[in-house]
């Protein structure tokens, strides 16, 4: 007795009444799994209907159960439902209230079911809904990028490798690169929906049940394609949550790359874009500042989403079949990643739509840094028949001369250029202008405005098709 008191004083300080309170605190999930209330009630109604139709419970009991569950749904939505930590999770909270409302018939609902298949079906329904939400949000972002791309299909800007100006491209082409990325995210989301579209309900604790249930019926009633084919896998699988988090982490990574570019572009040093006031803040001390907070937060929140993926992978690693309470740790990562990703997508869509593009600054930067050097080399190959390696060398000498004279490549005189290679003619100047350089890159997927517009048409059509 006194032993217990001493150890309790050592490790139970925070808790009201020793081991029982600590167990309650570590065991309870109601503080976060209450988010699943609608899915839990939907699942229970479908289960009860199936139990009645297969003659496992009476139609009268089923009616009471469904009525009670609908009352609970209204109570939760009205904010009058009292959640209790002592009742551990959403499943027991709902069932206990059902017993208050309808009496002994409530006890029949859990026939041929376990919390193991119940929680699996609840979370699957929730993640599936969220995937549809993400798909819609992604379509909105893709549309916003397509609109900007169309507007700026011919707006030249420097293209970068190693963050060094490499060759001129168009801003529309740059936007379209993100359309490709977010379209892959959209396709990943759809693939994930396809795979998670199977119902675990009816696996019971792990082994199935001796009651004559109809898993196909509940699967259909809940909008799943079919029931999962292995009861052990049904209660132990969390791939659907992992796939959602993996998609979310990749999508967040894409968002962070665009966010980083927005941050760089909006610096006074670049001045390529101006963010709208709604997506930036001023400094309380430096009046000249306009900070790209929303973009920085998109960049920063990526860490959180990726962390949730790694977190759940680590929870699931080494989990023996089938269910283990470890798996209760799946929910908070999924919920927070979902909420974070939704917000990131909305903020990015807003920034892309609202930002002002400074085409003159982009064009000026595109012409600096001898960005058309490759065009000069290509001209030497095409017109004078030089091997590319030699053309590269000649061009290098032209660049060195331009640097020596402190002018850009296209500002060298014909005599200057002919001093390097006497075969050069004034025709060279047509390729040294950035606009012409961009126009000439008509290869499939290239930066020529005609090609960019072709790709915009392709994605618009695909987006319209859904």
Contacts (CB under 6 A) with ligand ARG, residues 17-36 = 29, 33
Can you tell me the distance from the alpha carbon of 140 to that of 382, in angstroms, rounded to the nearest whole number? 43
**Phi-psi map region of 168: left, alpha, beta (phi>0 left; psi -120 to 50 alpha):** beta
Q: Report, in Å, the least distance between residue 39 CB and ligand ARG.
A: 12
283 is catalytic: yes
The rounded distance, in Å, linking the Cα atoms of 34 and 3 is 38
Query: Binding segment for ligand ARG among 7-15, 95-103, 320-328, 433-441 (CB under 6 A)?
Result: 320-328
Q: Which is nearer to ligand ARG, 272 or 323 (CB)?
A: 323
Segment near ligand ARG (CB under 6 A); pick from 111-119, 144-152, 261-269, 354-362:
111-119
Crossing angle (nearest 10°) for helices 115-151 and 171-196: 160
Active site residue 67: no
DSSP helix/strand/coil, 280: coil
Closest CA to 67 of 98, 108, 91, 93: 98
- What pairing do the DSSP bridges indicate for beta strands 226-227 and 198-199? parallel
Nearest approach in angstroms of CB 114 to ligand ARG is 7
Q: What angle do CA 310, 314, 320 make, to 5 degrees?
A: 150
Window contacting ligand ARG (CB under 6 A); options: 48-56, 206-214, 322-330, 369-377: 322-330
Counting contacts by CB under 6 A, is residue 328 touching ligand ARG?
A: yes
Nearer to ligand ARG, 327 or 355 (CB): 327
Residue 375 touching ligand ARG (CB under 6 A): no
Task: Note whether 119 binds ligand ARG by CB under 6 A.
Answer: yes
Per annotation, catalytic residue among 283, 368, 413, 450: 283
Binding to ligand ARG by residue 62, rule CB under 6 A?
no
Phi, psi of 320 (to 5 degrees): -70, 155
Out of 42, 97, 113, 115, point to the residue binding ligand ARG (CB under 6 A).
Answer: 115
**From the candidates 2, 162, 278, 443, which is the catalytic residue?**
162
Q: Tokens 């874009």 label which residue?
A: 273
Side-chain half-sphere exposure of 109, counting CA atoms within 13 A: 31
Q: Write down the residue that tokens 């503080």 correspond to.
A: 31
CB of 198 to ligand ARG, least distance (A): 19
Phi, psi of 274 (to 5 degrees): -125, 125
Catalytic residue positions? 162, 283
Task: Return residues touching ligand ARG (CB under 6 A).
Answer: 29, 33, 89, 115-116, 119, 323, 325, 327-328
């Amino acid at each position: 007795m006194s032993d217990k008191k001493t150890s309790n004083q050592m490790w139970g300080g925070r808790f009201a009444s020793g081991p029982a309170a600590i167990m309650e605190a570590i065991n309870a999930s109601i503080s976060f799994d209450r988010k699943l209330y609608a899915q839990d009630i939907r699942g229970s109604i479908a289960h009860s209907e199936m139990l009645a139709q297969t003659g496992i419970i009476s139609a009268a009991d089923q009616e009471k159960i469904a009525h009670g569950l609908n009352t609970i749904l209204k109570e939760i939505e009205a904010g009058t439902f009292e959640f209790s930590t002592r009742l551990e999770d959403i499943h027991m909270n709902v069932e206990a209230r059902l017993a208050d409302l309808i009496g002994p018939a409530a006890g029949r609902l859990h026939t041929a079911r376990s919390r193991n298949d119940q929680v699996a079906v609840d979370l699957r329904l929730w993640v599936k809904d969220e995937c549809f939400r993400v798909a819609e949000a992604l379509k909105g972002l893709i549309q916003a990028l397509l609109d900007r791309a169309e507007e700026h299909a011919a707006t030249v800007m420097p293209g970068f490798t190693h963050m060094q100006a490499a060759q001129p491209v168009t801003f529309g082409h740059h936007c379209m690169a993100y359309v490709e990325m977010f379209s892959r995210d959209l396709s990943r989301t759809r693939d994930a929906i396809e795979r998670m579209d199977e119902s675990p309900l009816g696996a019971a604790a792990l082994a199935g049940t001796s009651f004559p249930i109809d898993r196909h019926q509940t699967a259909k009633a809940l909008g799943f394609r079919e029931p999962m084919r292995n009861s052990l896998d049904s209660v132990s699988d969390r791939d659907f949550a992992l796939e959602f988090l993996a998609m979310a982490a990749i999508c967040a990574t894409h968002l962070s790359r665009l966010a980083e570019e927005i941050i760089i572009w909006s610096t006074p040093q670049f001045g390529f874009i101006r963010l709208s006031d709604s997506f930036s803040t001023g400094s309380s001390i430096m009046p000249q500042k306009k900070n790209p907070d929303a973009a920085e937060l998109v960049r920063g929140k990526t860490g959180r989403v990726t962390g949730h993926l790694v977190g759940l992978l680590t929870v699931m690693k080494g989990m023996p079949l089938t269910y283990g309470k470890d798996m209760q740790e799946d929910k908070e990562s999924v919920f927070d990643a979902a909420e974070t990703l939704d917000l990131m997508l909305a903020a990015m869509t807003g920034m892309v739509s609202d930002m002002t593009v400074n085409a003159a600054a982009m064009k000026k930067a595109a012409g600096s840094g001898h960005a058309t050097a490759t065009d000069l080399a290509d001209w030497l190959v095409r017109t004078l028949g030089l091997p590319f390696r030699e053309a590269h060398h000649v061009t290098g000498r032209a660049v060195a001369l331009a640097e020596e004279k402190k002018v850009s490549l296209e500002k060298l005189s014909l005599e200057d250029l002919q001093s390097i290679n006497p075969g050069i003619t004034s025709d060279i100047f047509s390729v040294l202008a950035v606009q012409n350089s961009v126009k000439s890159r008509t290869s499939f997927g290239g930066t020529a405005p005609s090609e960019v517009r072709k790709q915009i048409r392709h994605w618009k059509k695909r987006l319209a098709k859904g």
